[in-house]
């Protein structure tokens, strides 16, 4: 059932009691969902489109939106007639759903997973700084392994990442995510007490294991107190050997129009000061018999941007994309740095996460129901 209703309907069958809102920001997306087996079969097909065309290509967005709608479907899909009532489910996808209902799997999905191109592109794009376009170029040049990649690309950050690659491909349990936060908070307290931190990303959406750790922090009711803290934090963590010498992947201070290390062109998530680092998680003799190296994103925001930053860094990707689409419909612009009027460019105040949903005219959706990606 749609979480909100307005004149700009985003369902294809709004009169049907089983209609599914097209936008993820207007529906519940649990993990696992009621159609998880079907979603798992479609996931490689969605992913292969991302690997070939990029996440912003029309082919990718259309497929991702369709799979996301299936995730948000509150009933078990048992017939293609039911599937046809779900937004973005076209003829080709309907045939795949029929195949799944008949046989329990989708042949094309299995073939994709076994294909060399899929496996190699997935491997290459798992390395920081290697996007889909570069991965496809490398594939055409004969790159098939990480060793091939080392020889083909002479970028210091890629070489640094590859040094710790095996550790960073391991999934991080929730207990370790919380331990990493404790290490960061200890160092923050030495620099400037009074901060507020929040673990975002998949952890906040309830995932048992995370690919990386997203830590957001601010100083409540004290805009300006955060200035300089991120750089001081990174420097201190390096001094304490919590970040290896080559462990700063990116450090940006966008709020002061200054970039410390080279960075790719800005994206919506670049609206905030952030450090993408390789964190050395010291061995404790029990759960970690040796040091572990983990990818950690440290993000600092002003207090007035806190609500938008929390929503933006909680995800999921499809949820954020649809949130921006919804904001555009009502003449607003949303990203992790705040909400603005599209006509005047004036900021709209939304200090808390619930304020963001209120300003956008949406019912609040808890983080664990924002898992709109497979």
Look up the CATH number of the domain holding residue 142.
Answer: 1.10.150.20
Q: 199 and 122, same structural domain?
A: no
pLDDT digits (tens, 9 = 90+) for 109-124: 999 999 999 999 999 9
163 within a domain of the structure (yes/no): no
Containing structural domain, residue 233? 172-301
Q: Which of 301, 320, 353 is the last residue in one of the domains?
A: 301
Give the C-alpha distances (Å, rounded to integers) separating 147 from 124, 133, 153, 163: 11, 19, 10, 11
Q: 198 and 291, same structural domain?
A: yes
pLDDT digits (tens, 9 = 90+) for 203-261: 999 999 999 999 999 999 988 999 999 999 999 999 999 999 999 999 998 653 333 34
Q: Which of 301, 318, 341 is the last residue in one of the domains?
A: 301
Mean pLDDT of the chain: 91
Q: 192 and 74, same structural domain?
A: no
Q: Which residues are annotated as a binding site?
A: 212, 214, 297
Cβ contacts of residue 93 below 8 Å, gap of 6+? Answer: 42, 63, 66, 83
Residue 66 pLDDT: 97
Q: What is the pTM of this model?
A: 0.90
CATH no. for residue 36? Answer: 1.10.150.110
Q: 99 and 128, same structural domain?
A: no
Q: 130 and 190, same structural domain?
A: no
Q: 104 and 59, same structural domain?
A: yes
Give the C-alpha distances (Å, rounded to integers) separating 80 from 19, 62, 199: 14, 19, 40
Q: Which of 86, 112, 138 is the last residue in one of the domains?
A: 112
In whole angstroms, give the CA distance from residue 275 to residue 110: 38
Q: How many domains does the chain have?
A: 3
Catalytic residue numbers? 96
Q: 176 and 292, same structural domain?
A: yes
Q: 198 and 280, same structural domain?
A: yes
Q: Which residues are annotated as a binding site for Mg(2+)?
A: 212, 214, 297
């Amino acid at each position: 059932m749609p979480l909100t209703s307005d004149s700009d309907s985003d369902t294809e069958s709004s009169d049907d009691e089983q209609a599914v809102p097209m936008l993820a920001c207007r529906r519940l997306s649990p993990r696992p969902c009621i159609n998880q087996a079907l979603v798992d079969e479609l996931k490689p097909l969605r992913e292969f489109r991302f690997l070939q065309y990029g996440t912003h290509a029309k082919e990718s967005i259309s497929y991702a939106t369709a799979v996301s709608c299936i995730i948000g479907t509150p009933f078990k899909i048992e017939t293609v007639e039911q599937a046809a009532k779900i937004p973005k489910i076209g003829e080709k996808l309907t045939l795949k759903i029929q195949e799944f209902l008949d046989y329990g799997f989708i042949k094309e999905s299995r073939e994709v997973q076994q294909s060399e191109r899929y496996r190699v592109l997935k491997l290459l794009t798992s390395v920081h700084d290697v996007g889909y376009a570069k991965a496809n170029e490398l594939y055409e040049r004969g790159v098939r392994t990480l060793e091939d990649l080392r020889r083909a690309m002479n970028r210091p950050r890629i070489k640094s990442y590859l040094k710790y690659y095996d550790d960073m491909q391991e999934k991080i349990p929730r207990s370790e995510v919380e331990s990493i936060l404790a290490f960061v908070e200890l160092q923050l307290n030495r620099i400037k007490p009074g901060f507020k931190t929040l673990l975002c990303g998949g952890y906040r959406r309830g995932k048992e294991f995370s690919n990386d750790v997203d830590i957001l922090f601010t100083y409540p009711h004290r805009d300006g107190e955060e200035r300089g803290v991120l750089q001081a934090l990174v420097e201190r963590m390096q001094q304490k050997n919590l970040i290896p010498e080559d462990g700063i992947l990116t450090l940006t201070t966008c709020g002061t129009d200054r970039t410390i290390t080279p960075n790719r062109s800005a994206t919506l998530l670049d609206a905030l000061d952030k450090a993408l680092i390789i964190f050395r998680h010291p061995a404790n003799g029990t759960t970690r018999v040796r040091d572990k190296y983990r990818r950690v994103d440290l993000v600092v925001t002003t207090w007035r941007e806190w609500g938008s930053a929390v929503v933006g860094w909680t995800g999921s990707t499809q949820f954020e994309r649809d949130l921006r689409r919804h904001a555009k419909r009502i003449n607003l612009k949303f990203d992790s740095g705040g909400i603005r009027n599209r006509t005047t460019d004036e900021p709209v105040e939304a200090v808390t996460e619930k304020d963001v949903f209120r300003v956008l005219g949406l019912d609040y959706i808890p983080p664990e129901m924002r898992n709109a990606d497979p």
